[in-house]
Amino acid sequence: MIAQLRSELFKQRTTRAAGVLLASMAGVTVLVVCLHVFTLKTADLSQAANQPKVFGWGTTIGALFAALTGAIGITAEFRHGTIRPTLLTNPDRTRVLIAKAAAAATAAIVIGLLAAALVAAIGSIGLALRGIPITLKAGDFTQMIAGGAAGAALWAILGTGLGAILRGQVGAVIGLCVWLLLIENILIGNVPSAGKYAPGASDGALAGLMPNAGIASLLAPAAGALLLAGYAAVTAGLGLVAIERRDID
């Protein structure tokens, strides 16, 4: 198990995928936060309820890139066929997938921390430049960064499970993007009473905020953490069943 985890961590470091994901994440974060911090009206941004439109993006972007890391880690093996030598070396497919999820979660903690910290820094600088007072307290920032990292780790596990179920890289990547960037925002925006139970909104609860929702419309942090952990466990469980049952081409 430890050997397989070391191998998976080694694989992460030895292609350009990890670097490309990290750089894309930083780029997307800077772009999205700048767009919001510099285009929203001063009157709107001054209200505490609207500041998640700037600071909430760390949660969503961290979750997205964490989930992509998990999904790409497993779908790349199917895409390039390296799943065959991987499983010939270690035929215990359950252990291989768990090692992959653990390796992805490890990388996701870094991703989650970076995304939240980057959003906190750029958002704060942007608001200061515009002379708008920041309504988030130190405790909110701490929750945003720590919760964002923990949420990202869970999203990486979810992404690994999804990748094992779908196998196709394009489908997994598009699915995660559409869900996190589009569906989640529609759900929390239009039907918050149900939308707050969705996985992205659970992550928002854990981190304290997400782009279209402040703390008021979200679950309690512990409830969000539990619910997201449940989503991750169910998806990873289905992924384990899929990889154990299906033939490798």
Partner 1 sequence: MVAVRDLTKRFGPVLAVDALSFTLDAGSIAGFLGPNGAGKTTTLRLLLGLARPTSGEALVFGRRYRELPNPTRRVGALLESGDFDPGRSGRNHLRALAIASGIDTQRVDELLDLVELDRAAHRPAGDYSLGMRQRLGLAAALLGEPELLILDEPANGLDAAGVHWLRGFLRQFAATGGSVLVSSHLLAEVAQSVDRALIIKRGRLVATVAMDQLPDRGSLEQLYLELTGMDES
Residue ranges in contact with partner 1 by CB under 8 A:
3-4, 6-7, 10-11, 14-17, 76, 80-92, 247-248
C-beta of 139: minimal distance to partner 1 in Å? 42
C-beta of 246: minimal distance to partner 1 in Å? 9
Query: By C-alpha distance, which of 94, 74, 86 is closest to 163?
Result: 74
C-beta of 148: minimal distance to partner 1 in Å? 29
- C-beta of 26 vs 95, nearer to partner 1: 95
> 109-137 burial, b for 16+ CB within 10 Å, e for fewer?
bbbbbbbbbbbbebbbebbeeeebebbbe
- C-beta of 41 vs 245, nearer to partner 1: 245
C-beta of 165: minimal distance to partner 1 in Å? 18
- C-beta of 107 vs 188, nearer to partner 1: 107
Rounded CA gap, 102 and 106, in Å? Answer: 6
Q: How far is CA 54 from CA 23, 29, 211, in A?
A: 20, 10, 7
List CB contacts of 118: < 8 A, sequence separation 6 or more. 26, 29, 30, 33, 58
- C-beta of 43 vs 247, nearer to partner 1: 247
C-beta of 96: minimal distance to partner 1 in Å? 9
- C-beta of 73 vs 224, nearer to partner 1: 73
